[in-house]
Chains A and B, each alone.
Chain A
Amino acid sequence: MSVLTILRHAFQNKTIAFYCYNAYLKTAACGKDMHETSIAQNIIAIVQETLKEQPASASSVKTVRVVIGEMIAVVPELLHHAYDSLVSNTQLEQSRLEISIIPISAHCLSCDYTFGLKEFDFSCPGCHSSNIEVQTGNEFFIKEIEVES
């Protein structure tokens, strides 16, 4: 993952690493070596199970919407790539994965302040207490699918 992060930064800086990054994505999604590949497999299995419970007419899936908290450390580009590779030649081939990333927010139990976390600092910016309750950022679920009926 750290190599990937370096490559992503390099990619954002529009350097030659763009090519390496693409090559890495290809390898990653083809093999089993990425976290995102097994996540994509789980998503596809759950969507297929959901479809089985539906009337046959609802078989053409257009969009799969997933909600992922920032704590889960998923790289959206990698998840998209893994998903797209894995759905080819399946009934989900025409579907698009839509990822909503939820930032981490917390509530301070000492001073009652609700805040968004910055740089994974799990203490209250108001009173510096670490007696906080994480409210969002741990989500990791498939919300809904959009089908053509």
Chain B
Amino acid sequence: MSIITVERKVLEKNDEVAAELKSIFIKRKIFVLNVLSSPGSGKTTLLEKTLKQIKEDIKVAVIEGDVQTDYDAQRIAKYKIPVVQIVTNGGCHLDALLVRDALKSLTLDGIQMLFIENVGNLVCPASYDLGEHKKIVIVSTTEGDDKPVKYPKMFRVADVCILNKIDLLAYVDFDVSTFHANAKKVNPNLLFIELSAKTGAGLEDWLKWLKEQL
């Protein structure tokens, strides 16, 4: 028996491509957001409302990640925004190699902001860097205020936490202060934005933050 030292990172290929993507984004001055959440938290709805508000001022493109179907890309395409759908065919997360392939179908000239809507999942996508500038995690009030401690890695790596569906707070057992305390425990630097993508309440805080990033 003999031992061969390997000492190589399991996700080295992803990290390598993510670094490559990051340098493309920096060179082209594109601000990139990796949007993460569990399924049904309102990622696509928030994205639609956001695009409607900012598309006149900011040149935006979108990459949609889903396990199956291009329904989300169809929803985004209605806003006359360049969009490409990645179908992972069962894969539970987007990786940098998939994003690199998707970029081949997007014209990046003049684009200032790129939203990457990840596959709905609070576990796996947290480990895969896509070369983004910021990770946004969305939680909706119908999910439970204990999400941050159940999925600590996701909340630890996120920069911004959006609490969506605040219009439903009166009907659900979701305690905003417990949620904040849980999230702060995992990540004291997390920035919170509370809104309802449906009614538009709080949307201005999110749009203000977005514009400040450019």
* Chain A positions near chain B (C-beta within 8 angstroms): 1-2, 31-35, 38-39, 42-43, 45-47, 50, 54, 58, 62, 66, 68, 71-73, 119-123, 130, 140-149
Contacts and interface: CB of A to CB of B under 8 A. Distances in A.
Contact of B3 (A31, A123, A144): A144
Contact of A31 (B90, B149, B150): B90
B6 interface: yes
A144 to B, nearest CB: 5
Interface string B80-101: 0000000011111101000000
B187 interface: yes
A34 B92 contact: yes
A85 to B, nearest CB: 15
B123 A122 contact: no
B126 interface: yes
Contacts of A130: 184, 188
Nearest to B4: A145
Interface stretch (B8-16, B40-48, B160-168): B8-16
A71 B123 CA distance: 10
Nearest to A36: B124
Contact of B1 (A34, A66, A140, A147): A147
B92 A35 contact: yes
Contacts of A142: 6-8, 10
B31 to A, nearest CB: 26
B2 A33 contact: no
A58 B2 contact: yes
Given A50-B6, A68-B10, A143-B5, 5 more contacts: A35-B127, A38-B95, A46-B8, A73-B126, A144-B6
- Mostly, the B contact residues are mixed
A143 B7 contact: yes
B59 interface: no
A123 B4 contact: no
Is chain A's interface secondary structure helix, strand, loop, or mixed overall?
Answer: mixed
Interface of B: 1-13, 67, 88-93, 95, 121-124, 126-127, 149-150, 152-153, 156, 184-188
A144 B8 CA distance: 9
A149 B121 CA distance: 43
Given A35-B123, A144-B3, A122 B187 contact: yes
B152 to A, nearest CB: 4
9 cross-chain pairs, A with B, having the tightest CB-CB distances, nearest first: A130-B188, A120-B152, A35-B124, A32-B90, A142-B6, A33-B90, A1-B123, A149-B2, A141-B9
A43 B10 contact: yes
A38 B213 CA distance: 33
25 contacts: A1-B121, A2-B150, A31-B90, A32-B88, A32-B91, A33-B90, A35-B93, A35-B127, A39-B10, A42-B10, A43-B10, A45-B13, A58-B4, A73-B126, A122-B188, A140-B10, A141-B7, A142-B7, A142-B10, A144-B5, A145-B6, A146-B2, A146-B4, A147-B1, A147-B4
